[in-house]
Chains A and B, each alone.
Chain A
Amino acid sequence: DTEVTQTPKHLVMGMTNKKSLKCEQHMGHRAMYWYKQKAKKPPELMFVYSYEKLSINESVPSRFSPECPNSSLLNLHLHALQPEDSALYLCASSQGRSGYEQYFGPGTRLTVT
């Protein structure tokens, strides 16, 4: 089973709302990732958790707040977003060691109005 699940599939939120994106994997992977992807661009790394600890934060604005409650779950809390934050948000997981590939969830398409 190489499945990563994400909810919700679509999300529309106003600039004053607070919402959360959720990601889950049951492959025993120890690294989990959040990416942001705009149209016709490759995924852009936001955060990496390794063994449930934040290991990489690519200078992401504080209106995005990641959380890793356990080794299978990853959340992204959203607050006071801007219209330019509208994008596809992808979660991925990997073994966390060199030589192993990443598996992506289907993404959440976020629109900020």
Chain B
Amino acid sequence: RKEVEQDPGPFNVPEGATVAFNCTYSNSASQSFFWYRQDCRKEPKLLMSVYSSGNEDGRFTAQLNRASQYISLLIRDSKLSDSATYLCVVNEYGQNFVFGPGTRLSVLP
């Protein structure tokens, strides 16, 4: 069983759509959680940390459900520039970061 799993994708959505990504993790002792975006042939960039209370940054909302070991990312009013691969990353402890396989999003005009 993979430690961090994500929706397989790809997601192809029209501009303006709302899209949700899901992520599950297997280690119940995991400490912190992040969403990164990665553009083609570029490095991963931190999109947002995910907190138990949920957090929002503009069009992006992240939720964490520790009981279900589930993390989500909601993107509202999708823009062409949101097209990227979204990586769910779980920090199990200290320096141990586990990456999900990523979900590719294409926002279409």
Contacts and interface: CB of A to CB of B under 8 A. Distances in A.
Contact of A107 (B43, B95, B102): B43
Nearest to A91: B43
A94 B44 CA distance: 14
A109 B101 CA distance: 20
B25 interface: no
Given A88-B41, A104-B43, A104-B44, A42 B32 contact: no
Interface residues of B, number: 22
A35 B34 CA distance: 17
Given A98-B94, A106-B43, A43 B99 contact: yes
Contacts of A43: 44, 99
Contacts of A45: 97
A111 B88 CA distance: 28
A33 B43 CA distance: 14
A68 interface: no
Contacts of A96: 94-95
Given A42-B100, A42-B102, A107-B43, A101 B49 contact: yes
Nearest to A48: B95
Contacts of B96: 56
B91 interface: yes
Contacts of A107: 42-43
Interface string B31-48: 110100000011111100
Interface of B: 31-32, 34, 41-46, 49, 87, 89, 91, 93-97, 99-102
